[in-house]
Amino acid sequence: MTGLIDEDLAYIWHPCAQMKDYETFKPLHIVGAKGSYLHLDDGHRIIDAISSWWCKSLGHGHPQLKQALLRQIERFEHVIFANTTNKSVVSLAKQLISLNEGLHKVLFASDGSSVVEMALKMSVHAHRIQGNCQRNHFMSLSNAYHGETLLALSVSNTDIFCRDYEALLLPVHFLKHIPYVHSTEDPMWADCSAIWPDILRQLAPYQDTLSAIIVEPIVQGAAGMRIYSQDFLKRLAHWAKKHGIYLIADEMMTGFGRTGTWFAYKHADITPDFLCLGKGLTAGWLPMSALLLTDTIYQLFYDDYQRGHNFLHSHTHSGNVLAAAVADEVCRIMRDQSIVKSIEGLSATLLKCMRRVEEETSCVMNIRCIGAIAACDLIVTKEQAHRRLGYEVYQKAVKLGALLRPIGNTIYWLPPFTISTDCLNQLCDITIKAIKDVMSQPGY
Ligand SMILES: Cc1ncc(COP(=O)(O)O)c(C=O)c1O
């Protein structure tokens, strides 16, 4: 008899995977998920240490979110969102706007990449309407990641995702020498004046041709959870404003509390022109993304149809009502239960645990932590350089009881905000054992 895994491998191409890897380490057969745990068909449960690709901020199976979804399903599940409206989407839009002072309008899409595309396109369009047709270039940060569609990939600087499509990507300027920090205690966090002249030199040649600068505010996730100076973000935002360049904050991963503030741009006390949200927007229940923008930009497009200033960009599931009902409830839960405030305590525990990993393994360095994110890098010897150590740690950790999914040789935790201290200590023990086992194996 053919098993489920055989059938899966016979028909399915999994995301972000070399399918041959599954010959030796099969996909995990999930039969349930609750809180911070994933339940496997063999009866074991494992800790979801990365909130299922950074989206399950409130854990799996949250009862209030389930109720919100069921309530909406009883009414209707999806209706074209051009020319129609409904209570759930309007309520959600009001909440999103009230959480982001200075942003006034919201458009919906289905995922991160498509909302990033939308922001980039709209920035160029807005400049065109103002007669600034030369403003059609983008700037991004080195090590950036903004998604997989071609425009989103163009503003990404992550070699393994970009290199095979280089011929298709737009030329984009990537700012180098980003002032990375380990935590908000790092002096560079509050003052990056020492490196700013170098950044200004890089910015200057593009001040008249840039349409927008796009950033992952404060933490670059796919680059290995790299945290950078809030002062750098503040200076960059002010420079962009001074030169009439839009700032796009891509908060796919950092939004909805992940860095200890509702949105990471708030660390720098700035307001971006565009804000891209997803993942935590529905706490990972359903695919939905949102683009928030200023009224000034909105007014540029608001005109008689014949004038041609129309943003004719659509996605079939824009404003999907099931996702909207859940997202609306996510905002409510986060507000009513002061979830963002609770992340302070979680952050301290995460850091303590990561320090224990360092002490007990002596195999990691560069511990960094902000909000509900903690990360470190494996110390790799010359003999180990050819091994996929992060992948080996992943395999070992799964066997020990945690879905830990390192990025290269970066080990990180990005758990649901609702994870218990017991569960976190368990995750810490598993991480230590997995690292020790992998790193003590002789090179081969
Ligand atoms: C900062 C950032 N932008 C965009 C994306 C792409 O989002 P999606 O995978 O929903 O297309 C991601 C995904 O991880 C991300 O972290």
The answer to whether 157 and 141 are in contact (CB under 8 A) is yes
List all residues 6 or more positions away from 371 whose beta carbon is below 8 Å from its beta carbon: 257, 258, 259, 260, 261, 343, 347
117 lines ligand 1 (CB under 6 A): no
Q: Which ligand 1 atom lies nearest to the CA of residue 278?
A: 10
Q: How confident is the model over 185-212, as a mean pLDDT? A: 98
Report pLDDT for 1: 58
Same-fold call for 4-62+341-440 versus 76-336: no
Report pLDDT for 441: 87
d(CA 70, CA 72): 5
284 lines ligand 1 (CB under 6 A): no
383 Cα to the center of ligand 1, angstroms: 34
Report pLDDT for 2: 73
Q: How confident is the model over 349-364, as a mean pLDDT? A: 98
54 Cα to the center of ligand 1, angstroms: 9
252 lines ligand 1 (CB under 6 A): yes
Domain coordinates in residue numbering, the chain: 4-62+341-440, 76-336
50 lines ligand 1 (CB under 6 A): no
The answer to whether 160 and 175 are in contact (CB under 8 A) is no
116 lines ligand 1 (CB under 6 A): yes
The answer to whether 376 and 365 are in contact (CB under 8 A) is yes
Report pLDDT for 65: 98
278 lines ligand 1 (CB under 6 A): yes
The answer to whether 287 and 323 are in contact (CB under 8 A) is yes
List all residues 6 or more positions away from 429 whose beta carbon is below 8 Å from its beta carbon: none
253 lines ligand 1 (CB under 6 A): yes
112 lines ligand 1 (CB under 6 A): yes
- Both tokens of 12, joined, read 């399915």
227, 251, 253, 315, best to mutate for ligand 1 pocket (most atoms within 8 Å of CB): 253
Report pLDDT for 443: 62
276 Cα to the center of ligand 1, angstroms: 10
For the stretch 120-142, pLDDT in tens is: 999 999 999 999 999 999 999 99
Would you mind telling me the total number of residues written for the chain in this entry? 444
The answer to whether 393 and 435 are in contact (CB under 8 A) is yes
289 Cα to the center of ligand 1, angstroms: 10
What are the phi and psi torsion angles at 307 (to 5°)? -70, -15
For the stretch 17-26, pLDDT in tens is: 999 999 999 9
The answer to whether 141 and 178 are in contact (CB under 8 A) is yes
Domain 76-336 has CATH 3.60.15.10: no
361 Cα to the center of ligand 1, angstroms: 32
81-95 burial code (b ≥16 CB/10 A, e <16)? beeeebebbebbbeb
pLDDT at position 52 over 90: yes
Q: Treating both helix axes as pointing N-terminal to C-terminal, what angle do 321-336 and 339-361 enclose, rounded to 10 degrees? A: 80
The answer to whether 51 and 427 are in contact (CB under 8 A) is no
250 lines ligand 1 (CB under 6 A): yes
102 Cα to the center of ligand 1, angstroms: 24
For the stretch 266-325, pLDDT in tens is: 999 999 999 999 999 999 999 999 999 999 999 999 999 999 999 999 999 999 999 999
221 Cα to the center of ligand 1, angstroms: 9
The answer to whether 207 and 247 are in contact (CB under 8 A) is no
221 lines ligand 1 (CB under 6 A): yes
441 Cα to the center of ligand 1, angstroms: 35
Q: Treating both helix axes as pointing N-terminal to C-terminal, what angle do 87-99 and 321-336 enclose, rounded to 10 degrees? A: 40
- Both tokens of 337, joined, read 């239960």
303 Cα to the center of ligand 1, angstroms: 32
- Both tokens of 436, joined, read 């020790």
Domain 4-62+341-440 has CATH 3.20.20.70: no
Report pLDDT for 442: 74
Q: Which ligand 1 atom lies nearest to the CA of residue 216?
A: 1
The answer to whether 307 and 98 are in contact (CB under 8 A) is no
d(CA 62, CA 115): 26
Question: How high does pLDDT run on average in the chain?
Answer: 97
- Both tokens of 306, joined, read 């014949």
Query: Quick one: how far is CA 15 from the chain centroid?
Result: 16
Beta bridge partners of 282: none
DSSP string, 13-81: --TT--GGGGGTSPPP-EEEEEBTEEEETTS-EEEETTHHHHT-TT-BT-HHHHHHHHHHHHH-S---S
